């Protein structure tokens, strides 16, 4: 009990210094940005070498190639076996870390993520760098906060900052990266969390731009605006992208269940995944890698409609298969590529019935990205800002907003859960043995619409594991009493145990909805 009191005291002391956390957010952003830049750099080389691997097609070379793929797959499986939380994208794992239900070991996780991601890209797997970059940033931040001996609250704030910086360095989109990590991963938009995360994202973006230049991640040039007379097509596109996104979510989970059931040994599963990837990439080279270059190839020389549909279906299935093997790698960028392909397919279908300007193809490609990403992750605001930041243009904000909201509404109506929520639910939290329950501190901002507003603390009937230790109202800090009435826009400082952190977050989030 005494150690818990010391930990709480240290955490309160650290949480009181916004300036210190903001400053450390910049430092964490630089460190995480460098980590993500290194990852992006080695994957760029892996992608180039992967193309060379599959160019030679004589029989002896193919035998050597598949032997090489099998060895790489087995090594990747061993890495994942040694660091289980390095599998997949890493976004659910970071969520689990923030909820206190998972605990990754920074160095083994980083080693597995770097080497496993490199080998996956070298093999041609349809996986991206964005989710892993989030986990890389979070792992670097965790190592830093442990070295600095931070308390629980400041550790989680800086972990969020590191994750945001990792995504920013991968996408060159600092604002959207902050929104995504705070909204989707941390699931609590508080200025106390937002400011360090934003500063970290900007710092990481500067690091990334210093290495890779100022060109946006998706430099898609839109020569003209979509005429308002064609806006009804945007709504149709939003419906189509919602169907593609929700289908992807369901198929990915089905692949994951099937592969884990029939190939429970992760080393065997990943090794077989690498071998099948070799066959698929050798037969259909257009499906290799994340698909980033595929978009540019299509825009330079559009394919026939049938070929485009086949590539879209193939990309969807291949991405689901690759992710289902548990290989380190993300689905963020392949999701955006599927969005581009969906927008291109829709444009060509619309063109069969309507006289559309060919220059509008790029617009539909960008709109498709926003729609499919929204349907998959269910964060429309983040999707809109991310797509517009990546393409480096705000001119199409209204069409992007329309397609994102349309896709969101249909995906919600279909009752298909957001992919990262589903993936997290499928992961079993790591067992943690404690001599005594460790304390955890949570901040919660009371929304205007929350059912908590207007209630007295004595009427909340909170579980005994949850204690509201302080209420920040404006610039004043109140000592809570039973008769204290909670007001909208109050910031609650909540103390619970790490075992109950996830349940506590869920309890207050549910209260915010009603």
CA 188 to CA 207: how far, in whole Å? 27
Q: Considering only residues 513 and 456, tell me which one the structure prediction assigns the higher pLDDT.
A: 456
On the 0-12 / 13-18 / 19+ scale of CB atoms within 10 A, 173 is buried
pLDDT of residue 16: 45
CATH class of 230-264+278-427: mainly alpha
pLDDT in tens, 300-332: 888 899 999 999 999 999 999 999 999 999 998
Q: Considering only residues 245 and 484, tell me which one the structure prediction assigns the higher pLDDT.
A: 245
pLDDT over 90 percentage in the chain: 46
Confidence of residue 157 (pLDDT cuts 50, 70, 90): confident
- The CATH number of 439-512 is 3.30.70.1450
Q: Which stretches of 327-418 are DSSP H helices? A: 332-353, 361-377, 380-391, 397-413
What is the three-class DSSP state of 213? coil
**8 A C-beta contact, residue 24 and residue 196:** yes
What are the counts of helices (DSSP H) followed by strands (DSSP E) for the chain?
19, 4
Confidence of residue 135 (pLDDT cuts 50, 70, 90): very high
Architecture per CATH, 14-212: Orthogonal Bundle (1.10)
Among 38-42, 76-80, 165-169, 385-389, the range scoring the smallest mean pLDDT is: 385-389
pLDDT of residue 388: 83
Q: Considering only residues 345 and 358, tell me which one the structure prediction assigns the higher pLDDT.
A: 345
pLDDT in tens, 162-216: 999 999 988 888 888 888 887 777 666 677 788 899 999 999 999 998 988 877 6
Indicate whether this model's pTM tops 0.85: no
Q: Looking at the chain, which residues constitute the CATH 1.10.3080.10 domain(s)?
A: 14-212, 230-264+278-427
pLDDT above 70: residue 512: no
Please, what is the average pLDDT of the chain?
A: 85
CA 481 to CA 470: how far, in whole Å? 10
Q: Considering only residues 91 and 11, tell me which one the structure prediction assigns the higher pLDDT.
A: 91
pLDDT above 60: residue 14: no
CA 364 to CA 296: how far, in whole Å? 14
pLDDT of residue 358: 86
pLDDT above 70: residue 462: yes
Q: Looking at the chain, which residues constitute the CATH 3.30.70.1450 domain(s)?
A: 439-512
pLDDT in tens, 79-96: 999 999 999 999 999 988
pLDDT of residue 216: 67
Q: Which stretches of 181-265 are DSSP H helices? A: 191-212, 231-262
């Amino acid at each position: 009990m005494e150690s818990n009191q010391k930990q709480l005291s240290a955490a309160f002391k650290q949480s009181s210094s916004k300036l210190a956390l903001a400053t450390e957010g910049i430092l964490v952003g630089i460190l995480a940005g460098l980590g993500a830049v290194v990852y992006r750099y080695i994957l760029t080389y892996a992608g180039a070498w992967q193309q060379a691997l599959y160019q030679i097609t004589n029989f002896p070379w193919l035998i050597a190639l598949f032997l090489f793929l099998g060895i790489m797959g087995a090594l990747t499986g061993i890495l994942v076996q040694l660091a289980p939380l390095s599998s997949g994208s890493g976004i659910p794992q970071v969520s689990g870390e923030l909820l206190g239900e998972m605990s990754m070991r920074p160095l083994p996780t980083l080693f597995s993520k770097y080497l496993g991601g490199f080998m996956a890209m070298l093999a041609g797997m349809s996986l991206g760098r964005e989710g892993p970059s989030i986990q890389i940033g979070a792992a670097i931040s965790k190592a830093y906060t442990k070295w600095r001996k931070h308390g629980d609250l400041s550790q989680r704030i800086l972990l969020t900052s590191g994750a945001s910086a990792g995504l920013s360095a991968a996408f060159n989109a600092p604002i959207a990266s902050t929104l995504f990590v705070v909204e989707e991963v941390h699931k609590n938009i508080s200025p106390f969390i937002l400011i360090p995360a934003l500063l970290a994202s900007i710092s990481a973006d500067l690091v990334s731009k210093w290495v890779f230049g100022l060109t946006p991640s998706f430099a898609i040039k839109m020569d003209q605006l979509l005429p308002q007379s064609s806006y009804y097509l945007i709504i149709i596109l939003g419906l189509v992208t919602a169907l593609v996104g929700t289908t992807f979510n369901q198929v990915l989970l089905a692949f994951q269940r099937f592969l884990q059931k029939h190939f429970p040994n992760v080393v065997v599963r990943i090794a077989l995944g690498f071998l099948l990837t070799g066959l698929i990439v050798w037969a259909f080279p257009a499906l290799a890698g994340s698909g980033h270059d595929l978009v540019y190839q299509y825009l330079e020389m559009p394919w026939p409609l049938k070929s485009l549909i086949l590539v879209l279906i193939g990309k969807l299935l291949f991405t689901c298969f690759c992710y289902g093997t548990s290989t380190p790698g993300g689905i963020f960028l392949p999701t955006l590529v599927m969005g581009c392909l969906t927008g291109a397919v829709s444009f060509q279908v619309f063109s069969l019935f309507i006289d559309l300007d060919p220059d509008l193809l790029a617009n539909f490609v960008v709109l498709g990205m926003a729609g499919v990403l929204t349907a998959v992750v269910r964060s429309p605001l983040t999707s809109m800002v991310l797509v517009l930041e990546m393409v480096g243009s705000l001119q199409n904000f209204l069409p992007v907003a329309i397609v994102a909201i349309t896709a969101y509404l249909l995906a919600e109506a279909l009752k298909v859960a957001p992919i990262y929520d589903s993936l997290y639910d499928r992961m079993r939290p790591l067992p943690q043995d404690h001599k005594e329950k460790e304390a955890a501190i949570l901040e919660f901002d009371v929304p205007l619409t929350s059912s908590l507003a207007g209630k007295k603390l004595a009427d909340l009937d909170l579980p005994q594991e949850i204690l509201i230790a302080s209420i920040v109202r404006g610039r004043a800090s109140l000592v809570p009493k039973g008769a204290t009435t909670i007001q909208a826009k109050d910031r609650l400082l909540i103390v619970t145990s790490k075992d109950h952190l996830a349940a506590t977050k869920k309890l207050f989030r549910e209260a915010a909805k009603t």
